[in-house]
Amino acid sequence: MTPTEVAPAAERSTPFAPGEAPRLRLGVADYLTLGNALCGFLAVWALATAQAAHMAGGAAGALPKSAMATAVGLMMVAAALDVLDGRVARKLGGSGMGAELDNLADVISFGFAPAFFFVVWGTIAGGAGVLLGGSVLPVVAGGAVLLAVIVRLARFSCQAPDSNYFTGLPCPFGAMAVVTIVLLDPPVLAGVAAVLLVAWLMVSRMEYPKPRGKKAYVVLGMLATGVAFIAAWGLGLPAGEALIYLMSALVLLTILSLPFYVIATRRSPAPAGQLVEHPVDRHAERPSE
Protein backbone atom coordinates (compact mmCIF):
# COMPACT_ATOMS: atom_id res chain seq x y z
CA MET A 1 0.00 0.00 0.00
CA THR A 2 2.94 2.31 -0.32
CA PRO A 3 2.42 5.09 -2.87
CA THR A 4 5.42 3.82 -4.79
CA GLU A 5 3.37 0.66 -5.30
CA VAL A 6 -0.04 2.28 -5.61
CA ALA A 7 1.37 4.75 -8.12
CA PRO A 8 4.54 3.55 -9.85
CA ALA A 9 7.33 5.97 -10.54
CA ALA A 10 5.88 6.88 -13.92
CA GLU A 11 2.61 7.93 -12.25
CA ARG A 12 4.16 9.37 -9.12
CA SER A 13 6.02 12.04 -11.08
CA THR A 14 5.18 14.47 -13.81
CA PRO A 15 5.87 13.20 -17.38
CA PHE A 16 8.95 14.68 -18.99
CA ALA A 17 10.10 14.88 -22.57
CA PRO A 18 13.11 12.75 -23.53
CA GLY A 19 16.27 14.37 -22.27
CA GLU A 20 14.37 16.80 -20.03
CA ALA A 21 15.47 16.92 -16.41
CA PRO A 22 12.78 15.91 -13.86
CA ARG A 23 11.15 18.65 -11.81
CA LEU A 24 12.83 18.66 -8.39
CA ARG A 25 10.52 21.12 -6.67
CA LEU A 26 8.16 19.63 -4.10
CA GLY A 27 4.55 19.12 -5.16
CA VAL A 28 1.40 18.75 -3.06
CA ALA A 29 1.74 14.97 -3.00
CA ASP A 30 5.32 15.27 -1.78
CA TYR A 31 4.22 17.29 1.24
CA LEU A 32 1.80 14.50 2.14
CA THR A 33 4.70 12.04 1.86
CA LEU A 34 6.81 14.22 4.15
CA GLY A 35 3.87 14.26 6.57
CA ASN A 36 3.99 10.47 6.51
CA ALA A 37 7.68 10.53 7.50
CA LEU A 38 7.05 13.15 10.19
CA CYS A 39 4.30 11.02 11.75
CA GLY A 40 6.69 8.08 11.91
CA PHE A 41 9.33 10.23 13.58
CA LEU A 42 6.81 11.60 16.10
CA ALA A 43 5.66 8.06 16.92
CA VAL A 44 9.25 7.10 17.79
CA TRP A 45 9.67 10.32 19.79
CA ALA A 46 6.48 9.62 21.78
CA LEU A 47 7.64 6.09 22.57
CA ALA A 48 11.17 7.14 23.53
CA THR A 49 9.86 9.91 25.79
CA ALA A 50 7.39 7.56 27.48
CA GLN A 51 10.03 4.86 27.95
CA ALA A 52 12.50 7.33 29.48
CA ALA A 53 9.87 8.59 31.92
CA HIS A 54 8.83 5.02 32.69
CA MET A 55 12.37 3.97 33.54
CA ALA A 56 13.21 7.17 35.44
CA GLY A 57 10.14 6.75 37.63
CA GLY A 58 10.94 3.12 38.36
CA ALA A 59 7.45 2.12 37.27
CA ALA A 60 6.65 -1.55 36.70
CA GLY A 61 4.54 -2.98 33.91
CA ALA A 62 3.70 -1.71 30.46
CA LEU A 63 3.94 1.85 29.20
CA PRO A 64 0.92 4.09 29.86
CA LYS A 65 -1.93 3.47 27.45
CA SER A 66 -1.94 7.12 26.43
CA ALA A 67 1.66 6.93 25.19
CA MET A 68 1.06 3.71 23.27
CA ALA A 69 -2.16 5.06 21.78
CA THR A 70 -0.37 8.22 20.65
CA ALA A 71 2.32 6.22 18.84
CA VAL A 72 -0.16 3.86 17.20
CA GLY A 73 -2.42 6.73 16.16
CA LEU A 74 0.49 8.52 14.52
CA MET A 75 1.44 5.40 12.57
CA MET A 76 -2.17 5.08 11.38
CA VAL A 77 -2.17 8.71 10.25
CA ALA A 78 1.08 7.98 8.38
CA ALA A 79 -0.64 5.05 6.65
CA ALA A 80 -3.54 7.30 5.63
CA LEU A 81 -1.14 9.86 4.17
CA ASP A 82 0.60 7.00 2.38
CA VAL A 83 -2.66 6.18 0.60
CA LEU A 84 -3.53 9.80 -0.15
CA ASP A 85 -0.25 11.00 -1.63
CA GLY A 86 -0.37 8.51 -4.49
CA ARG A 87 -3.92 9.54 -5.39
CA VAL A 88 -3.03 13.23 -5.20
CA ALA A 89 0.04 12.67 -7.39
CA ARG A 90 -2.07 11.01 -10.08
CA LYS A 91 -4.60 13.83 -10.07
CA LEU A 92 -2.35 16.88 -9.63
CA GLY A 93 0.99 15.56 -10.81
CA GLY A 94 4.09 14.98 -8.75
CA SER A 95 7.76 15.78 -8.77
CA GLY A 96 10.73 13.73 -9.92
CA MET A 97 11.50 13.02 -6.26
CA GLY A 98 8.12 11.45 -5.48
CA ALA A 99 9.02 7.76 -5.68
CA GLU A 100 12.24 8.21 -3.73
CA LEU A 101 10.50 10.25 -1.04
CA ASP A 102 7.88 7.51 -0.72
CA ASN A 103 10.46 4.83 -0.04
CA LEU A 104 12.38 6.94 2.47
CA ALA A 105 9.21 7.91 4.34
CA ASP A 106 7.98 4.32 4.42
CA VAL A 107 11.23 3.08 5.96
CA ILE A 108 10.69 5.52 8.84
CA SER A 109 6.96 5.10 9.42
CA PHE A 110 6.47 1.42 8.58
CA GLY A 111 9.95 0.05 9.25
CA PHE A 112 11.74 1.85 12.07
CA ALA A 113 8.69 3.07 14.02
CA PRO A 114 6.93 -0.32 14.43
CA ALA A 115 10.27 -2.07 15.00
CA PHE A 116 11.11 0.37 17.80
CA PHE A 117 7.58 -0.02 19.19
CA PHE A 118 8.05 -3.77 19.42
CA VAL A 119 11.51 -3.49 20.98
CA VAL A 120 10.22 -1.11 23.67
CA TRP A 121 7.34 -3.47 24.46
CA GLY A 122 9.51 -6.60 24.41
CA THR A 123 12.17 -5.06 26.65
CA ILE A 124 9.65 -3.98 29.28
CA ALA A 125 7.45 -7.08 29.05
CA GLY A 126 10.31 -9.58 29.07
CA GLY A 127 12.71 -7.95 31.50
CA ALA A 128 15.65 -10.10 32.52
CA GLY A 129 13.70 -13.30 32.00
CA VAL A 130 13.84 -13.29 28.22
CA LEU A 131 16.08 -15.92 26.70
CA LEU A 132 19.60 -14.65 25.91
CA GLY A 133 19.30 -11.79 28.39
CA GLY A 134 16.61 -9.18 28.44
CA SER A 135 16.08 -7.45 25.15
CA VAL A 136 18.03 -9.53 22.61
CA LEU A 137 15.12 -11.42 21.07
CA PRO A 138 12.83 -8.39 20.72
CA VAL A 139 15.73 -6.51 19.09
CA VAL A 140 16.26 -9.39 16.66
CA ALA A 141 12.57 -9.42 15.73
CA GLY A 142 12.43 -5.63 15.44
CA GLY A 143 15.54 -5.63 13.26
CA ALA A 144 13.95 -8.28 11.05
CA VAL A 145 10.93 -6.02 10.50
CA LEU A 146 13.11 -3.04 9.59
CA LEU A 147 15.25 -5.07 7.17
CA ALA A 148 12.17 -6.69 5.62
CA VAL A 149 10.70 -3.26 4.86
CA ILE A 150 13.97 -2.06 3.31
CA VAL A 151 14.33 -5.20 1.17
CA ARG A 152 10.67 -5.07 0.14
CA LEU A 153 10.88 -1.46 -1.02
CA ALA A 154 14.17 -2.03 -2.84
CA ARG A 155 12.78 -5.12 -4.55
CA PHE A 156 9.70 -3.25 -5.71
CA SER A 157 11.82 -0.45 -7.18
CA CYS A 158 13.54 -3.04 -9.39
CA GLN A 159 10.36 -4.81 -10.53
CA ALA A 160 7.94 -4.05 -13.34
CA PRO A 161 4.70 -2.83 -11.71
CA ASP A 162 1.59 -4.99 -11.50
CA SER A 163 -1.48 -2.80 -11.40
CA ASN A 164 -3.62 -5.24 -9.44
CA TYR A 165 -1.47 -6.97 -6.84
CA PHE A 166 1.31 -6.38 -4.35
CA THR A 167 4.03 -9.02 -4.03
CA GLY A 168 4.44 -9.58 -0.32
CA LEU A 169 2.55 -8.00 2.58
CA PRO A 170 2.41 -4.20 2.04
CA CYS A 171 4.54 -2.26 4.52
CA PRO A 172 1.68 -0.34 6.21
CA PHE A 173 -0.22 -3.60 6.77
CA GLY A 174 2.97 -5.13 8.15
CA ALA A 175 3.40 -2.19 10.52
CA MET A 176 -0.22 -2.52 11.68
CA ALA A 177 0.31 -6.24 12.22
CA VAL A 178 3.32 -5.55 14.48
CA VAL A 179 1.31 -2.93 16.37
CA THR A 180 -1.55 -5.39 16.76
CA ILE A 181 0.76 -8.02 18.23
CA VAL A 182 2.00 -5.51 20.81
CA LEU A 183 -1.52 -4.41 21.74
CA LEU A 184 -2.58 -8.03 22.27
CA ASP A 185 0.33 -8.32 24.75
CA PRO A 186 1.21 -12.01 24.24
CA PRO A 187 4.10 -13.80 25.97
CA VAL A 188 7.34 -12.32 24.66
CA LEU A 189 8.53 -15.45 22.86
CA ALA A 190 5.14 -15.79 21.14
CA GLY A 191 5.29 -12.13 20.17
CA VAL A 192 8.78 -12.54 18.73
CA ALA A 193 7.66 -15.54 16.66
CA ALA A 194 4.61 -13.65 15.37
CA VAL A 195 6.67 -10.59 14.38
CA LEU A 196 9.22 -12.77 12.58
CA LEU A 197 6.29 -14.26 10.63
CA VAL A 198 5.14 -10.75 9.67
CA ALA A 199 8.65 -9.90 8.50
CA TRP A 200 8.69 -13.03 6.35
CA LEU A 201 5.28 -12.19 4.85
CA MET A 202 6.59 -8.78 3.73
CA VAL A 203 9.41 -10.32 1.69
CA SER A 204 7.47 -13.39 0.58
CA ARG A 205 5.97 -13.96 -2.89
CA MET A 206 2.41 -14.00 -1.53
CA GLU A 207 0.09 -11.61 -3.37
CA TYR A 208 -2.21 -8.99 -1.87
CA PRO A 209 -4.80 -6.97 -3.84
CA LYS A 210 -4.13 -3.27 -4.33
CA PRO A 211 -6.71 -0.80 -2.98
CA ARG A 212 -7.70 0.70 -6.32
CA GLY A 213 -10.54 3.16 -6.85
CA LYS A 214 -13.24 2.93 -4.18
CA LYS A 215 -11.22 0.34 -2.28
CA ALA A 216 -8.77 3.09 -1.32
CA TYR A 217 -11.56 4.94 0.43
CA VAL A 218 -12.48 1.75 2.27
CA VAL A 219 -8.88 1.54 3.52
CA LEU A 220 -9.00 5.18 4.61
CA GLY A 221 -12.26 4.52 6.45
CA MET A 222 -10.72 1.53 8.21
CA LEU A 223 -7.74 3.63 9.28
CA ALA A 224 -10.00 6.39 10.59
CA THR A 225 -11.99 3.81 12.54
CA GLY A 226 -8.76 2.36 13.92
CA VAL A 227 -7.63 5.80 15.12
CA ALA A 228 -10.99 6.23 16.89
CA PHE A 229 -10.69 2.81 18.51
CA ILE A 230 -7.13 3.41 19.70
CA ALA A 231 -8.11 6.83 21.05
CA ALA A 232 -10.96 5.26 23.06
CA TRP A 233 -8.51 2.70 24.44
CA GLY A 234 -5.88 5.31 25.27
CA LEU A 235 -8.43 7.47 27.09
CA GLY A 236 -9.51 4.52 29.19
CA LEU A 237 -13.12 4.48 28.01
CA PRO A 238 -15.16 1.46 29.19
CA ALA A 239 -15.42 -0.07 25.73
CA GLY A 240 -11.77 0.64 24.87
CA GLU A 241 -10.44 -2.85 25.59
CA ALA A 242 -13.20 -4.54 23.58
CA LEU A 243 -12.62 -2.17 20.65
CA ILE A 244 -8.88 -2.90 20.64
CA TYR A 245 -9.48 -6.64 20.54
CA LEU A 246 -12.02 -6.15 17.75
CA MET A 247 -9.57 -4.02 15.74
CA SER A 248 -6.77 -6.53 16.32
CA ALA A 249 -8.91 -9.44 15.19
CA LEU A 250 -9.93 -7.60 12.01
CA VAL A 251 -6.33 -6.66 11.17
CA LEU A 252 -5.01 -10.19 11.62
CA LEU A 253 -7.96 -11.76 9.81
CA THR A 254 -7.48 -9.40 6.85
CA ILE A 255 -3.75 -10.07 6.60
CA LEU A 256 -4.15 -13.84 6.79
CA SER A 257 -7.18 -14.14 4.49
CA LEU A 258 -6.30 -11.80 1.60
CA PRO A 259 -3.70 -14.11 -0.04
CA PHE A 260 -6.30 -16.88 -0.15
CA TYR A 261 -8.81 -14.44 -1.64
CA VAL A 262 -6.30 -13.59 -4.38
CA ILE A 263 -5.67 -17.27 -5.10
CA ALA A 264 -9.41 -17.98 -5.28
CA THR A 265 -10.19 -15.04 -7.58
CA ARG A 266 -7.27 -15.77 -9.90
CA ARG A 267 -8.33 -19.39 -10.29
CA SER A 268 -11.98 -18.58 -10.96
CA PRO A 269 -12.74 -18.54 -14.72
CA ALA A 270 -13.78 -15.28 -16.37
CA PRO A 271 -17.45 -15.02 -17.42
CA ALA A 272 -18.25 -16.17 -20.94
CA GLY A 273 -17.42 -13.57 -23.55
CA GLN A 274 -15.35 -11.47 -21.15
CA LEU A 275 -11.75 -10.80 -22.12
CA VAL A 276 -9.12 -11.06 -19.41
CA GLU A 277 -6.90 -7.99 -19.54
CA HIS A 278 -3.21 -8.19 -18.87
CA PRO A 279 -2.55 -6.25 -15.64
CA VAL A 280 0.11 -4.01 -17.15
CA ASP A 281 -2.01 -3.22 -20.23
CA ARG A 282 -4.98 -2.35 -18.07
CA HIS A 283 -2.77 -0.18 -15.93
CA ALA A 284 -1.52 1.73 -18.96
CA GLU A 285 -5.04 2.37 -20.19
CA ARG A 286 -6.42 3.55 -16.85
CA PRO A 287 -3.56 5.12 -14.94
CA SER A 288 -5.89 7.10 -12.68
CA GLU A 289 -7.17 3.99 -10.83
Domain spans of the chain? 3-15+28-266
Separation CA 65–CA 231 (nearest Å): 10
Residues forming a β-bridge with 209: 165
Residue 284 banded pLDDT, cuts 50, 70, 90: very low
Instruction: State the average pLDDT over residues 157-182.
Output: 83
The pLDDT, as a whole number, for residue 141 is: 95
CB–CB of 14/66 below 8 Å? no
Among 83-87, 129-133, 169-173, 255-259, the range scoring the smallest mean pLDDT is: 129-133
On average, the pLDDT of the chain sits at: 79
Region of 133 (left: φ > 0; alpha: ψ -120 to 50; beta: rest) is left
Tell whether the model's pLDDT for residue 233 goes beyond 60.
yes
The pLDDT, as a whole number, for residue 149 is: 96
Among 37-41, 69-73, 117-121, 242-246, the range scoring the smallest mean pLDDT is: 242-246
Tell whether the model's pLDDT for residue 275 goes beyond 60.
no
Instruction: State the average pLDDT over residues 160-187.
Output: 85
The pLDDT, as a whole number, for residue 156 is: 80
Separation CA 34–CA 105 (nearest Å): 7
Report how far Cα 100 is from the mean position of its chain's Cα atoms: 17
CATH topology of domain 3-15+28-266: Four Helix Bundle (Hemerythrin (Met), subunit A) (1.20.120)
Separation CA 71–CA 107 (nearest Å): 16
Among 2-6, 26-30, 216-220, the range scoring the smallest mean pLDDT is: 2-6
CA distances from 97 to 10, 13, 89, 107, 265 (A): 11, 7, 12, 16, 35
